[in-house]
Structure 1
Amino acid sequence: MKALIVVDYTFDFVADEGKLTCGAPGQSIESRLTSITKQFIENNDLVVFAVDLHEEDDTYHPEMSLFPPHNIKGTKGREQYGMLGDYINSLPDEQKKLLYWMDKTRYSAFAGTNLDLKLRERSITEIHLVGVCSDICVLHTAIDAYNRGFSIVVHEDAVQSFNAAGHDWALQHFTSVLGAKVVNKSSH
C-alpha cells in the first residue's frame, strides 16, 4: 500500500507574497504536484497534507531565530497554494474524507505527530513525497520515513526549494543515502 505526503505546499511557502516563499521554483511544480495529488485521490490512496503550524509569538520555537514568522495559525499562509487549493476545495465531501490533514511543528511530518500510526494502521509501506522545501521539510520527512522502514519515492518534478544548491544536494541524498527512488513524469 502507498500514500502521498504533500509537504508544506502552502501560500506562505509558494506565493510571491508568502512569508517564507520559494517563489518561482515552488510555483514551477504547481501543475505536476496537483496532477500527482489528483492521481492518488482518484486511486483512493491515502493523501496526507502535512502543513507547517506556528503560533504568532512563540519565542521558544527553534525556527523563530532561523526564519521569519510563517504559516501562523489562522492565517492565509497555511492554505494550500494555487491549483492544488482550488482542486481540493472543488472535491465532493466523500472524496475529501480520503484526505488526512495534519499539523506539524517541526521540519519532519513525523516529528511529534501521529503520522507513523496513521500509515501503519492502513498497512502503508511506501510513501511518495511532493512539496517544499526539498532540502528542509521534505528531506527531514524522508529521513524519518527511512528510519521507520518505509520505502520512499520522491517526485523530482514535484519538489523544490528556495535554495538551488540545497535542492540538488537533497535529490542526490535521497538516492545515495536514503535509498529512495527519485522519479519524474518521464520516468513513469
Structure 2
Amino acid sequence: MKALIVIDFTRDFVDGSLPVGQPAVEIEETIAAITEAYCNNKHEVIMAVDLHEESDPYHPETALFPPHNVRGTEGRQLYGRLAQVMQNHQEDIRWMDKTRYSAFCGTDLELRLRERGITDIALIGVCTDICVLHTAVDAYNKGFHITVYEDAVASFNPAGHEWALGHFRSSLGAQVIKASETILARA
C-alpha cells in the first residue's frame, strides 16, 4: 500500500512570509497533478501542513524564521491549483497539522499509516532540505520505503536542495524519481 504526503505547499511557503519563491511556483502543476493521480488511484493522501501560533516564544523556529503558517491566516492556505485539488477530493485527502519539521513528530501519522497497512510513502512539497528531509529521515527510521519526486520538491536554498536529493538516495535509500517520467507519464 502507498501513501502520498504533501508537505507545506502553502501560500506562506510559496510566495508569502517565508517564500521558496520561483522554485516552488515552478512545481505547482506537478504537485497538483501528483496529488490528483494518487487520489484517483485511491491511495492515501495526507496534507502535512505546518501550524504555528502567533508570537509563540517557546517554539524553536521562532528564533530561526519569520512568522509563517500562523493559525487562521491566509498564508496557511494551500497554494494555487493544489487548493482546488483539495476541494475536489475532500473525501480522499486528510489534512494533518504539524508543528515541527517532520510530519511524524508529535502527530498520529505513523499510526494512521500502519493501520492502513501502508509500507511505501511518497514525499512532495517544500522545503526539500528542511521539512521534506526531516520527514524522510523519520520515515526511514520507522522502516518505510520512500519515494521522493524530485520535480515536486523545492527549497529557497539551491545547495541545500541538491544536498538533500543526494542524501535521500545515498543515506536513506530513497527512490528519487521524476513524476514527469513515471506517474504523470502514465496519466
TM-score if structure 1 supplies the norm length? 0.95
Runs of 4+ residues over 4 Å off in structure 1: none
Displacement of 1:187: 3.8
Displacement of 1:57: 1.2
Alignment gaps of 5+ in structure 2: 183-187
Secondary structure of the residue aligned to 1:22 is coil
Q: 2:176 aligns with which of 182, 185, 188?
A: 182
What is the alpha-carbon root mean square deviation over aligned residues?
A: 0.8
Aligned position for 1:131: 125
**Aligned partners of 1:44 and 1:128: how far apart in 2?**
14
C-alpha distance after superposition, 1:32-63 (max 9, x if no partner): 11110000000111100000000001001000
After superposition, residues 102-117 of structure 1 pair within 5 angstroms as 102-117=96-111
Displacement of 1:186: 4.7
TM-score if structure 2 supplies the norm length? 0.95
After superposition, residues 47-58 of structure 1 pair within 5 angstroms as 47-58=45-56
Secondary structure of the residue aligned to 1:88 is helix
Please state if 1:147 is matched with 2:141: yes
Displacement of 1:6: 0.1
User: Would you say how many aligned residue pairs link Structure 1 and Structure 2?
Assistant: 182
**Aligned partners of 2:39 and 2:120: how far apart in 1?**
16
Displacement of 1:98: 1.9
**Aligned partners of 2:146 and 2:179: how far apart in 1?**
16
Aligned position for 1:34: 32
Please state if 1:161 is matched with 2:152: no
Give the % identical residues. 59
Alignment gaps of 5+ in structure 1: none
Code of the residue aligned with 1:7 in structure 2: it is I
Secondary structure of the residue aligned to 1:35 is helix
Please state if 1:69 is matched with 2:67: yes
**Aligned partners of 2:111 and 2:64: how far apart in 1?**
30
**Aligned partners of 1:24 and 1:76: how far apart in 2?**
19
Displacement of 1:86: 2.1
C-alpha distance after superposition, 1:148-174 (max 9, x if no partner): 000000000000000000000000000
